[in-house]
Amino acid sequence: MSERPLALVTGASRGIGAAIARALAPTHRLLLGGRDTEVLSRQAAELPEAEPWPVELTDPDAVREAAARIERLDVLVHSAGLAELGTVERTEADSWRRQFEVNVVAVVELTRLLLPALRAAGGHVVVINSGSGRTARAGWGAYAASKFAARAFADALRAEEERNGLRVTSVFPGRTDTEMQQAVIAAEGKEYAPGEYLRPESVAAAVLSAVAATADAHPAEIILRPRSH
């Protein structure tokens, strides 16, 4: 077995998660998390020492079973996410629940189950948050609330686990050119303009820099914004 460190990336089938997996591939063994086994298998075939990790993150039993097979984990990247826009008036409780289930509860539970493996490796947890995790705008209430909660979770985890050798980094990208972003723009009734957004590879580069930080450094937060044109 390779002695390279092991990284698990959720949401690895597309967008930012896929870009992060590609960025980590030269230095890490990879578990590619997602729901589409076919897509994950194709990606794994293109990367050295990568394998699919097809798990429904909102299924507690499936997550528990899959996490139990990981004894040592160097990097855990939470990139899976869900965004449903709407005003407070028009956003029903089910939408709030869905977004909190994916963006908060699934992140918390997977991390909790993997803490022994992360502690064994002196590992690194990276939470891909959002600009909405720092500023809530009209029409983004439920999504922003879930991302504020994810930020609070990362802060608490960092405070609790630093003594166990873990590092926890929250990454706050501005709008990024992904399929999810295109859907959000369509929901807002705006015109898609690719040059105005970050590239997924830019976010991945920031994650890689955090993971590669020297042992004396703890990159707690990274804030990225698209460069003005």
The residues annotated with a catalytic role in the active site are 143
What residue has token string 């830019």?
202
Closest CA to 63 of 3, 125, 107: 107
State how far the Cα of 205 lies from the Cα of 108, in Å rounded to an integer.
24
At 141, the amino acid letter reads: G
List the one residue out of 45, 35, 31 whose CA is nearest residue 14: 35
In the sheet that holds 221-224, the strands lie side by side as 50-54, 29-34, 6-9, 75-78, 124-128, 167-173, 221-224
